[in-house]
Structure 1
């Protein structure tokens, strides 16, 4: 095991010194100016320079040179670190300039295990560092000992998720890798793809790339007919994650497509996906266009939460039509009493025909003790 780690460190060291700031042949690159935020920025977002590299017959990648640690007290040793992402915003590697080393507390340089561990920490998109605020790092002790420029209280991190004496460095670099830059890279790459390429990506057996394609389509204001057809065809099979991506974007598209897509989503077997759809409809500027769809959904679902949410939206239309009252009374007389009671209290203040009023009176009489 020790031999393997030594070999890995040797490889990393060679890459640090040789590959770090060089290009392969047949590559093109462009600099992209961005404004991004970082949890350690005390003065808000800053402008940075990201580089996109395209290699012939290979996937493009991105890199950016950052400070190894964002140190408010200007006491830490700060060195440039180059971070690399693939086209989907995933971390690839970090590199240092030749002769540059990272430093821990008390001026101790990183050893070979530290460099390997840092790479492992940056690879872990769900690291404990994700949930920490910058103040958690600068005001606490980490690993039970005073970390560089730390305060007095204890902060416990798993041994494999931070480097003792270098928590600031781990925190700074991890949030560069997995924070706002992750999303910026994805958006930039998506802008280089057309709708046909994104739709083709939906058919891949790769969950992350499929998610990327849906996110990219959700940012578009105009969809071509082929894209619309694919979304309509697949909507009933979307899980909660995909529904959460597409539903908020619906109001950016033509209302006829919105209603068609909502109809498919309300037939999705996932209650979570259906509730997300209802949330999107509730916030839609074209709420009136969904009236018949909402009425039909009340009659097709056994979910009280969905019925309650749908009734709230129906209430915004004002007085119901006679046919709508008939349809809702039919649902009210079914066996699901929770839904029936909710409908009863919604309907009792509506204008009704004499026959509809009789139905309400009979229902109230039969369920006096339960209403």
Structure 2
């Protein structure tokens, strides 16, 4: 159950300058999807709700969800239904109220036109300060500096752009519905309506949000088409860090031969952070020998100590090196930055070395002992 202080009256929102608009919730072009979502004001945990997906011309167009204007358990608040709308990517579009329904703010005052417009702006702001507030912040404090004579609550100040005075609880409730778990539910639902061909086309979009969505959607797929695999291999050398995280997280469900190719392609990315993420993913592959050749190849091109350290840690778990592999590493001793060669020197010290290989190590030590 939800408990709010009697001094905090509840409000809710209506869409901009179009009072009375109310979209049909059923029809041949509307699909109802059962989703389970949480909200910071749901004391009893996640609830099952009916998300509606609207199709136009056979294609998904937008989503909407009917919620209560405020989550209020002790019946002090005026609670009315509000419909929240998102585009296919889970981005807020607008909100609606039933014709004749009004939202209220402090002391039972109805929303004015400016309040409805302000609520729309608040809900559109993904980075709102409401993100950082908790249920307790809203129900146990005042957020516009109002005096609470009954509780002596400490004031928590929000700007007029972040909330509507007397309606903060409504703003909080609706904002967290808009920008909470529902966004990912919408993106997942939209992805299911698309073929891999359509997702591949999105990979070349200039809109970063669309590209991220395509990578997320492909990450859910276990059976990638051959053209999709080629597209990902082509994109890997220029992935952003966020895109690389998505793809690397998904690799576990894909075939081993493709994972090896993808890792090899990711290791050519100019961003060190992307290469490190790829190495961390390889590190989780339980010593699969297929990755060993590409790690040796990468070691020859490395100019970063963190990368060299990660590669050597992985190689160390494959067991003793073959003699030819020791020879290859000793060639790198002659070429790399001192920090990298020092790390490599100590790695090779733990390997079984031939007499000639030990001689190389001794020479390196004599020349660089003051750095080792």
The answer to whether structure 1 residue 327 and structure 2 residue 331 are counterparts is no
In the other structure, the counterpart of 2:24 is: 22
What is the CA RMSD across the aligned residues, in angstroms? 2.4
In the other structure, the counterpart of 2:232 is: 231
The structure that is helix-richer by fraction is: 1
- Cα distance in structure 1, aligned partners of 2:178 and 2:152: 26
Structure with more contact order per residue of length (Cα contacts < 8 Å, sep ≥ 6): 2
Deviation for aligned residue 1:10: 11
1:23-59 per-residue CA deviation (whole Å, 9 max, x = no partner) reads: 79x9611211111111222222111111111123775
**How do 1:282-321 residues align onto structure 2 when only pairs under 5 Å count?**
282-285=283-286, 287-321=288-322
Q: Does the Cα contact within 8 Å between 2:199 and 2:217 map onto a contact in 1?
A: yes
Q: Does the Cα contact within 8 Å between 2:67 and 2:81 map onto a contact in 1?
A: yes
Judged with a 3 Å threshold, the aligned counterparts in structure 2 of structure 1 residues 287 and 111 are, in CA distance, closer, same or farther, namely farther
**How do 1:109-188 residues align onto structure 2 when only pairs under 5 Å count?**
109-145=110-146, 152-188=153-189
SS at match of 1:153: coil
- Cα distance in structure 1, aligned partners of 2:333 and 2:63: 58
SS at match of 2:29: strand
The answer to whether structure 1 residue 351 and structure 2 residue 361 are counterparts is no
Deviation for aligned residue 1:275: 1.2
Q: Does the Cα contact within 8 Å between 2:15 and 2:94 map onto a contact in 1?
A: no
Deviation for aligned residue 1:285: 4.0
The answer to whether structure 1 residue 12 and structure 2 residue 13 are counterparts is no
**How do 1:36-75 residues align onto structure 2 when only pairs under 5 Å count?**
36-56=37-57, 59-71=60-72, 73-75=74-76
Q: Does the Cα contact within 8 Å between 1:27 and 1:53 map onto a contact in 2?
A: no
- Cα distance in structure 2, aligned partners of 1:10 and 1:78: 13
In the other structure, the counterpart of 1:220 is: 221
Q: Does the Cα contact within 8 Å between 1:31 and 1:50 map onto a contact in 2?
A: yes
In the other structure, the counterpart of 2:247 is: 246
Deviation for aligned residue 1:133: 2.5
Q: Does the Cα contact within 8 Å between 1:105 and 1:166 map onto a contact in 2?
A: yes
Q: TM-score, normalised by structure 2?
A: 0.90
Q: Does the Cα contact within 8 Å between 2:16 and 2:113 map onto a contact in 1?
A: no
What is the aligned length?
360
- Cα distance in structure 2, aligned partners of 1:11 and 1:100: 11
Q: Identify unmatched segments of 5+ residues in structure 2.
A: 1-12
Deviation for aligned residue 1:109: 2.2
In the other structure, the counterpart of 2:90 is: 89
Higher deviation after alignment, 259-268 or 195-204: 195-204
- Cα distance in structure 2, aligned partners of 1:11 and 1:342: 62
- Cα distance in structure 2, aligned partners of 1:287 and 1:145: 63
Deviation for aligned residue 1:274: 0.8
- Cα distance in structure 2, aligned partners of 1:150 and 1:326: 76
Q: Does the Cα contact within 8 Å between 2:15 and 2:116 map onto a contact in 1?
A: no
SS at match of 1:62: strand
- Cα distance in structure 1, aligned partners of 2:15 and 2:89: 25
Judged with a 3 Å threshold, the aligned counterparts in structure 2 of structure 1 residues 151 and 327 are, in CA distance, closer, same or farther, namely farther
**How do 1:270-289 residues align onto structure 2 when only pairs under 5 Å count?**
270-285=271-286, 287-289=288-290
1:92-135 per-residue CA deviation (whole Å, 9 max, x = no partner) reads: 11011122222223323222211101101111112122233322
Deviation for aligned residue 1:63: 0.9
- Cα distance in structure 2, aligned partners of 1:151 and 1:199: 58
Deviation for aligned residue 1:332: 2.3
